[in-house]
Structure 1
Amino acid sequence: MRTASRLGLLPIGAACAALALALTGPQASAANIGATQNHNRPHAIGTSVSSSTGHIRSDATGGPPGNPDGGVDDPSAADNEYFAARSAPGVVAPGAYGAAWQQMQSMQHYGPTWKPVTTTPYNADDPRYRDYDSNSSGGAGNVTGRITGLAADNAGHVYAGAANGGVWRSSTGGGSWTPISDALPAESTGDLELDATGRLWYATGEANTASDTFTGSGVYVLTHPGSGQFSTADRVGGSELESTSIRKIRFIGNTVYAATTRGLYSHSLTNLHGAWKLEFAPNPAYLPTGSLAADPSAPYKNIVNDITADPKDPTKLIAAIGWRSGDAYNGFYTKTGGTWTRITSSLGDLPVAPANVGAVTFASSADGSKFYAINQDPTKITSAQSTLGGVYVSTGTPFGPWTLLADSPKLESDGSAETGATYNPGVQAWYNQFLQVDPNDPNHVYMGLEEVYESHDAGATWNTVGPYWNFTYPCWSIDPTEQTGTCSPTTHSDQHAVAIGSMNGKSYVVVGNDGGAYKRPVNGVLDSGGHAADWQSLNDGTIDTLQYYSVGVGADPSGKGVAVSGGLQDNGQSILRNGDTVMGSNFGGDGGDTLVDPKNGCNIAEEYTNESIWVTNDCGQNVSTDPSTATEYNVPPNDGVNGTARFTAPFTADIKNSNTWVAGGQHVSVQTKGYAIRATSDWTDVYDFGAGNLASAVADSGGKIYAAWCGGGCNSVGFTRGIAVGNADGTGWHQLNLPADGSVLPNRYLSSIAIDPNNSNHVYVAVSGFSRKWTEGPGAGIGHIFESKDGGTTWKDISANLPDVPADSIQILPNGAVALATDLGVFYEAAHSSCWSVLGQHLPTNATLQLELGPDGYLYAATHGRGIWKLRVPSGGQNQQ
């Protein structure tokens, strides 16, 4: 995949023999344990799931553009995405992803080299797409995917760790990035830290508890990060931290501590050999080797958020522990006489009651005179207002007394924060947190929630230096000639990481968020509204960590090349047309599934969330202050209006009649106007799965529809699934016989369906999750792709030598071969073959969520962390290197 010496080593027979490979024990892992979904509108947050805010759309469920409190989304759909699809019907044992990755290294490759598509800058403020249904002109400028770790030195090196796109290095203070972790099995970032000797520590496994967060393969150390690249030989310790997520790496004395989702671990800073030591787990029975390991709540029972120590005595530790939605074990713990105990005595204003301690971040000044903390309050997590407990300071010691500096109302009113808006700072304090103290000034603090805040007086007052967006301000203008009006550029929303560095003696602060990395001088300039006037986007296109859910390709109306569209986590819908020097954003919010007319790439249908479908016939190029003249139309089926559909709900066009579309929520819905659709009334519900059952995949050929669904909350407890088959005119609908015991198809999430264009009874289905070797659930079965030649009456497992890893998307190629996208990459089976190869060369190890054939002879792959890639469709019929 990445290591040339490992490519194509085995003949076909040997590669297929790998089916019998049984790797045991924990392996390098990139497993997904998130339990929520990030999307882009403030909402009522559930007790065990929630969603990240971001940009809104001016549709029936939200307010007008620029109103951050415009709508309320149902967060229950969020919980049923990545995590549930990959774990149902049970709990996945550690090592599953690692075993699959190890097997993949010995597989043969077939086909040419993959080529990156989305390497031009993605300008969220592209004036070509400025209208009421786009986020363009919000002020974030060039964006990329979520950055969850940052480190910076005093020689101009900046290191950025992407949520699922690995580590990138800049030697110019940000920009001109180079990936430096592509040889690792995990590309999910928990934390990045430079130690006192200049070594770069990479803690894999994002711990932001979003549904598209992936666990990691441990901690790696790069001795010469300014010039080197990570390898598997750089891992610290053994397999102890595989298949977990790491929120923070902290250096205390001669020890490094890892705050993980499976407890607190420690390791020597001077001797990197030997295993990590489990310092403390509040509920050890729920660890992978414990008696309650199979309990569905096990992933939430040993979460450590951060740790710090008394500067006068580094043996006096205090750890912030607990699940963000609340649990009896939540609280602050200290080590006394070798034993960890929860603090029950007063810490001043900082709460100690388990009910009030959630996700916590610590920061201390370089001289040890000030300690700061953010606390998210679990009792507020059902509120649409804010989940922030408060921001606190303690003098000289983290053991208090702590003083409350600010809560949500203070941050909203202080320093012109969101003037004229009602944003509610901290609405996602469980997901958005960072703290950084200026190393030269203990009273100068940067804080990240949804926005970036700065204080010069130890938190007594704050300025919102990185506001959520500029839409609400009088300086904003929709006039395309004014770009963002006279407003200062801002950062993307949803903050996760921060670092301070310098180059040529000039210090800067770098922040990481759902839109990438941004920097400004440490002591920067404010405009008249109290916002920073000097933010610089570092997302220059050389760092492509865009998190795509989908991709669609059509011929460019210019007559040259193609237009490539795709839906993104928290970055709307991107469009790249022939000759573009930047990608534009023509739909706002989260981008879900995508449908593009192959004959005209400006005919686009885009899903916001939960089957809220929008359509445009001009690539979304509309500059209008009057919504009545808009050229983007909100055309959801009834399920999209009611919210009875999955967060990313499936919809597609009939492969023989592009004017017939099928969408899946609780119902199978059909419309026959193609891209001329203008209203919800154009849809007809042709089949009802029943209350609580939601479509997971749909396909249509010549009016024959296959629709997969999941039920029981689509989660581990009570999970059910099935496939309904019927006609687009509403006749002939019936459920296939798929017993829950997995005897016909595994009782796991059905992620994709593909129909043979020459025979509608010839159909393939992809199965997510893991086999019964790894999943302790009823009917988990084995296999990831199945074929039926009789319309679904009987099925054959054709997984053969495929790695045991979640399968995401099937594409039947013109030569009769099958391409299968998975959480590790893309695989290929030639027509009339029974053996799989890795498709192409040099596609980064990443979750590839959708495959789409373009009219230009390329196969396009939407990865969730490394952008969109393309490969010339193979013409041969046999697997080969």
Structure 2
Amino acid sequence: MRSILLTTTALLLAGPALAAAPAPAAYADSAAISGLGIRNIGSAQMSGRIASIAGRVEKDGKTTLYVGAASGGVWKSEDGGTTFRPVFDKQPYLSIGEIALDPTNPQTVWVGTGESWTRNSVSIGGGVYKSTDGGETWQMMGLPTTERVVRILVHPKDGNTVYVCAPGRLWSDSPDRGLYKTTDGGKTWTQIIKAANLSTGCSSVAMDPSNPEHLLAGTWDFRRTGWDFRSGGHGPDAPSGSRMMESFDGGRTWTDLNAQTRSGLPNQPWGRVEISFAPSDPKRVYAFVENVRSALYVSEDGGKTFQERDRSQGMVWRPFYFGRLVVDPKNQDRLFKMGYHMIGSEDGGKSFTDSAQDSHADWHALWIDPTNTRHMIGGDDGGLWLTEDGGTKWRHGLNLPISQFYHVSVDNKDPYQVYGGLQDNSSWVGDQEYPGGITNSRWENLYGGDGFWAFPDPADPDYVYAEYQGGSISRINRKTLEQRDIQPKAGYKEKLRFNWNTPIHMSPNEKGTIYIGSQFLFRSRDHGQTWDRISPDLTTNNPLEQKQEESGGITVDNSAAEMHTTIYSISESPKAPGQIWVGTDDGNVQLTRDGGKSWTNVTKNLKLPKDSWISWVEASRYDPAVAYVTVDRHNSGDFQPYMLRTGDFGRTWTPLIGPKTDGVRGYAHVVKEDRVNPNILFVGTEFGLYASLDGGAHWAQFKPNNFPDVAVRDIVFQDRDDDMVLATHGRGIWVVDDLSPLRALTPDKLAANAVLIPGPPVQQRIQGSGGWAEGDATYAGENPPDGAVITYYQKARHVIGRMKLEVLDANGNVVDELPASKRKGLNRVVWSMRTKPPMVPPAAQIAFRSTQGERVLPGQYTIRLTKAGEVSTAPMTIGLDRRATFTLADRKAQYDAAEHVKTLFARMSKLVAEMNAARAQAAKVVADPNASAEAKTQAKAFGDKVEALRTQVVATKEGGAITGEERLRENMDYAYGAVTSTEQRPTPYALARVDALEKELGEVEAAWAGLSPEGMKKVNAAALTLGLPSVDLAQVEPEDDGARGGDVEALARGLVGTRFMGQLSALAERGENN
């Protein structure tokens, strides 16, 4: 069980030295803490890398799409890409290599996990999955140790026969790679191609469209380390295993295709091989072969002979990263090659042009609509692209929030903003709160390249530090957008080694002081204007790991991704200025306690295995002797998590997470201490976020329902709001609002059946307007809860009996009753802090402004939770928005005015109810065939007079929700809106308008008082003679317009076309309260 051992209260409050002391067990598992909740703020503006696309045109003409993200899971669209939803989030791996649809069953979907575009930052997979219900549910079908899948082929007539092409492990040897086949729908698998060595896997497989038994396959010998990548060529211990092979019996036997056996193929050694048949002409075969003369090769006879066709720059660029060939289903001469830009040919590969000029770079996937081949959907490092004209013009899909952040930071604005850098998608700043939702337009691009660290300058918030790969740091003026390069430069005949993900660190002690690391640590005290080198080489300086210019294998590829023996993490102690910890990518941990004058290498004290990578070093917020490190060994094929702690400046280290740690999965990226309680720790790994409440002795995964097992690369706290912000590498930025409930999970709380947890003071945030309708083909991040968040803990899920959650005012009166969530563990319920809406009389026109009540007054409230007879209470303090320019007295005046209008509405509702009852009674007499002529005449005359009065009060013109007819009710609605649209003191005009309407209402009431007694007396008398019951107007209940929230929301969306989500949710609340 994933669990946290929660120690006694004394231990929770004790210093770090006591964190490992024995304590009575009081367990809270992952389900218990995950109710804290989390929200995604996007963005989809920059999206992220797409690895695979599968599509199908349905019988009704609609297009169903499945999109596989490099590290963001599988997304499904049932409307051709207008909208998407994630369908793979409950699975343990989000790195997608391939998606294939069963041509014999439209509901069967195959997914191979583990991306095959093997760049340095690629994640890992864990086998093959199958869905038989269109992606709603999934079953793991085996091959768990293949790590990567590049292609899945389903037999065109037998859905149980499936081929899986698995390149295999990137970082280590393994026999679990090659081409696999199942004939029983995935129950069992046979390895039908097992390559010659342990670093060679399958790179491609293609099936002859005229003969499913005829297969062509490519194998690929490859290996990556932290400092080198080899695509093809000979390995250190064995000849190259890169090959092309052919089978005519469904893979039982194979023939090697090479320069000796097939005319036109190049000499070996080879690298990555890609193969594709032309669906419209099985004799046409296209193959890309990486070798010393990488090129596209074409066969016109089904693979018997080949000709070299193209070896242009666009064709041969980075074969390990751009491999796929896609042929038009109807035209064998029309071919697309994925690449830096996607290139296309209309003449069978003889010539190529750029087919996606204005798109993002680095293309990996393309689906061509078989019913209309001008309709294509492609994927690259920037997300999804759609064209209807064969690739002349492309539209960017802005609705997939699969951005791959490396780091995140926050500022102190109110509301605060978040900053971060993304894989191949620059550095950005965006809102985490905005009226109407955090749409793509709320994100601003700061800097180019592959983005990593981005910080607002604490000394001047108009400036931001941001970098792209290799330590290319600039200081950016957000007002003028000027970018100034401030990267430290090498000295005479010197080479600086900056990591792909070069660390930048802002001093917690000196505003304006910034650190950056190459093999040396640099410090600037003037915002990067000048730099001081304050260390010697802090790495191992191993020359064998500094041959990046030779990296790439057959095709040299040196993008700084393999730069090694570099500083990777920097942390200055907030408790001791000048005490700085440094971690390197080659396993060193170094410490200076005098601002860099002297350094101590404490690496040997950690007792780490060879080739460990210090992925994070974190100086404690509380004790200068304490620090934490996370260790990443996935570059050596070890995917286990490691995290250690020192309490004596690095002389000794205690492992807090290791391969046998219960509840933690995936190699570790980051560790952070809670900002209030030193015993609460958070660790981000390749597969999620994990928390410890006892200094690291026990761990639990933090896994709300909407948060998948995505890589968490960075964690930052917004101290003022007590929020935690996560940078994920595959699903954008996530925010946990208000961490305080975690600190309250003491053993006494955990032992209670149900207990309320007091929260921080609540702000009544000003209700701003904003947002605009952007259609359905977009994405909007989630705002913080629009109301007061009430938190409680349950030892077990509530099943039997009533559970009641109430809000009481300072006098003990029940203000509101809320639906209580019943899940085990932490529960959070949002109270709107609003009174009930006015009781508005029914009419032909909807009173839009009166569909929600005004906010309650700031002050002291009590929350009461009742469960099975047990009662728990907690105080709640509500205050003004800290940005407010008005006073509590102003709010009181606004509240009183709103309540006064509500009393007028109540009088009006009673008045209209009486009028409607009188009209109905008169109508019954008029309609009764037994009534005398005199009775009918009197009843009709009375009914007409009632209607004349009623038309002064309410709109009566039928024909729609908006008739333009304004009567007393409609004008009162405007007056109520004028008072409640702001929390400021009402204007004299607004109050005068209320007074005028009250006078009008009084006049109508007086007229009714003069009309109704005598009129009703006569009508009731006539009714009694007809055997009808009399009507007592004094007993008539006031009427409400009964407008349901859903109706109001639909009308508001249609009428104003804006994303007033907070306001609309409040409108919907009216339907629940009535």
TM-score by length of 1: 0.69
Query: C-alpha deviations, 1:839-867, integer Å up to 9, x for none?
Result: 35232211111111125432111111111
The within-5 A match list for 1:337-736 is: 338-344=252-258, 346=260, 350-355=264-269, 357-379=270-292, 389-397=294-302, 399-408=303-312, 425-467=315-357, 490-501=358-369, 508-521=375-388, 523-524=389-390, 532-538=391-397, 540=398, 542-556=399-413, 560-577=414-431, 579=434, 581=439, 582=441, 583-597=443-457, 602-618=462-478, 621-622=480-481, 630-636=482-488, 638=490, 642-673=495-526, 676-678=527-529, 681-689=530-538, 691-692=541-542, 693-701=565-573, 702-710=576-584, 714=586, 721-727=587-593, 729-736=595-602
Tell me which of 660, 681, 686 is aligned to 1:818: 681
Whether 1:222 aligns to 2:127 is no
Whether contact under 8 Å (2:115, 2:125) holds in the other structure is yes
Whether 1:206 aligns to 2:206 is no
Question: CA 1:632–1:710 in structure 2 vs 1: closer, same or farther (change >3 Å)?
Answer: closer
Question: CA 1:783–1:797 in structure 2 vs 1: closer, same or farther (change >3 Å)?
Answer: farther
Question: What is the DSSP-based 3-state SS (H/G/I as helix, E as strand, rest coil) of the residue aligned with 2:405?
Answer: coil
Question: CA 1:500–1:445 in structure 2 vs 1: closer, same or farther (change >3 Å)?
Answer: same
Letter in 2 for 1:670: R
Question: CA 1:344–1:457 in structure 2 vs 1: closer, same or farther (change >3 Å)?
Answer: closer
Structure 1 residue 279: Cα displacement = 0.6
Structure 1 residue 833: Cα displacement = 6.9
Question: CA 1:747–1:214 in structure 2 vs 1: closer, same or farther (change >3 Å)?
Answer: closer
Question: What is the DSSP-based 3-state SS (H/G/I as helix, E as strand, rest coil) of the residue aligned with 2:292?
Answer: helix
Whether contact under 8 Å (2:475, 2:486) holds in the other structure is yes
Corresponding position of 1:761:
625
Whether contact under 8 Å (2:409, 2:455) holds in the other structure is yes
Structure 1 residue 554: Cα displacement = 0.9
Tell me which of 241, 244, 248 is aligned to 1:332: 244
Whether contact under 8 Å (1:650, 1:697) holds in the other structure is yes
Question: What is the DSSP-based 3-state SS (H/G/I as helix, E as strand, rest coil) of the residue aligned with 1:662?
Answer: strand
Question: What is the DSSP-based 3-state SS (H/G/I as helix, E as strand, rest coil) of the residue aligned with 2:534?
Answer: strand
Whether contact under 8 Å (2:181, 2:192) holds in the other structure is no
Structure 1 residue 243: Cα displacement = 4.3
Question: What is the DSSP-based 3-state SS (H/G/I as helix, E as strand, rest coil) of the residue aligned with 1:203?
Answer: strand
Tell me which of 805, 811, 827 is aligned to 2:690: 827
Tell me which of 28, 48, 54 is aligned to 1:145: 48
Length, aligned pairs only: 655
Question: CA 1:728–1:391 in structure 2 vs 1: closer, same or farther (change >3 Å)?
Answer: farther
In 2, the alpha carbon distance for the partners of 1:319 and 1:176 equals: 35
Whether 1:277 aligns to 2:190 is yes
In 2, the alpha carbon distance for the partners of 1:432 and 1:813 equals: 42
Question: CA 1:266–1:793 in structure 2 vs 1: closer, same or farther (change >3 Å)?
Answer: closer
Identity of aligned residues (%): 20
Whether contact under 8 Å (2:463, 2:475) holds in the other structure is yes
Structure 1: which 4+ aligned runs deviate by more than 6 Å?
104-107
Query: C-alpha deviations, 1:94-142, integer Å up to 9, x for none?
Result: xxxxxxxxxx9977535611110124x42xxxxxxxxxxxxxxxxxxxx
Whether contact under 8 Å (2:203, 2:272) holds in the other structure is yes
Structure 1 residue 874: Cα displacement = 1.6
Tell me which of 96, 121, 141 is aligned to 1:189: 96
Tell me which of 125, 132, 145 is aligned to 1:242: 145
Whether contact under 8 Å (2:588, 2:601) holds in the other structure is yes
Question: CA 1:639–1:326 in structure 2 vs 1: closer, same or farther (change >3 Å)?
Answer: farther
Instruction: Note the residue ranges of structure 2 that are not aligned, 5 or more in a row.
Output: 9-27, 169-176, 222-230, 235-239, 543-564, 751-824, 826-1074
Question: CA 1:275–1:149 in structure 2 vs 1: closer, same or farther (change >3 Å)?
Answer: same
In 1, the alpha carbon distance for the partners of 2:30 and 2:452 equals: 34
Whether contact under 8 Å (2:670, 2:715) holds in the other structure is yes
Whether contact under 8 Å (1:157, 1:169) holds in the other structure is yes
In 1, the alpha carbon distance for the partners of 2:167 and 2:646 equals: 41
Letter in 1 for 2:187: G
Query: C-alpha deviations, 1:227-277, integer Å up to 9, x for none?
Result: x4242x2x33x3x343421111123464321111243333346x3142211
Question: CA 1:164–1:362 in structure 2 vs 1: closer, same or farther (change >3 Å)?
Answer: same
Instruction: Note the residue ranges of structure 1 that are not aligned, 5 or more in a row.
Output: 1-8, 17-103, 123-142, 287-300, 381-388, 410-423, 468-489, 525-531, 623-629, 715-720, 777-781
Question: What is the DSSP-based 3-state SS (H/G/I as helix, E as strand, rest coil) of the residue aligned with 2:406?
Answer: coil
Question: CA 1:818–1:599 in structure 2 vs 1: closer, same or farther (change >3 Å)?
Answer: farther
Question: CA 1:364–1:833 in structure 2 vs 1: closer, same or farther (change >3 Å)?
Answer: closer
Question: What is the DSSP-based 3-state SS (H/G/I as helix, E as strand, rest coil) of the residue aligned with 1:738?
Answer: helix
In 2, the alpha carbon distance for the partners of 1:151 and 1:696 equals: 38
Question: CA 1:464–1:105 in structure 2 vs 1: closer, same or farther (change >3 Å)?
Answer: farther
In 2, the alpha carbon distance for the partners of 1:307 and 1:433 equals: 12
In 1, the alpha carbon distance for the partners of 2:212 and 2:78 equals: 34
The within-5 A match list for 1:261-276 is: 261-262=167-168, 263-268=177-182, 271-276=184-189
Letter in 2 for 1:650: P
Question: CA 1:650–1:111 in structure 2 vs 1: closer, same or farther (change >3 Å)?
Answer: farther
Structure 1 residue 345: Cα displacement = 5.2
Whether contact under 8 Å (1:784, 1:804) holds in the other structure is no
Whether contact under 8 Å (1:820, 1:826) holds in the other structure is yes
Structure 1 residue 670: Cα displacement = 1.4
In 2, the alpha carbon distance for the partners of 1:205 and 1:171 equals: 25
Whether contact under 8 Å (1:602, 1:618) holds in the other structure is yes
Query: C-alpha deviations, 1:373-401, integer Å up to 9, x for none?
Result: 24242326xxxxxxxx222322241x232
Structure 1 residue 752: Cα displacement = 1.3
Tell me which of 303, 319, 324 is aligned to 2:217: 319
Whether contact under 8 Å (2:419, 2:428) holds in the other structure is yes
Letter in 2 for 1:865: G
CA RMSD of aligned residues (A): 3.3
In 2, the alpha carbon distance for the partners of 1:150 and 1:599 equals: 46
TM-score by length of 2: 0.57
Letter in 2 for 1:732: S
Structure 1 residue 672: Cα displacement = 1.4
In 2, the alpha carbon distance for the partners of 1:149 and 1:450 equals: 16
Whether contact under 8 Å (1:573, 1:591) holds in the other structure is yes
Q: Higher RCO, 1 or 2 (CA under 8 Å, sep at least 6)?
A: 1
Corresponding position of 2:614:
750
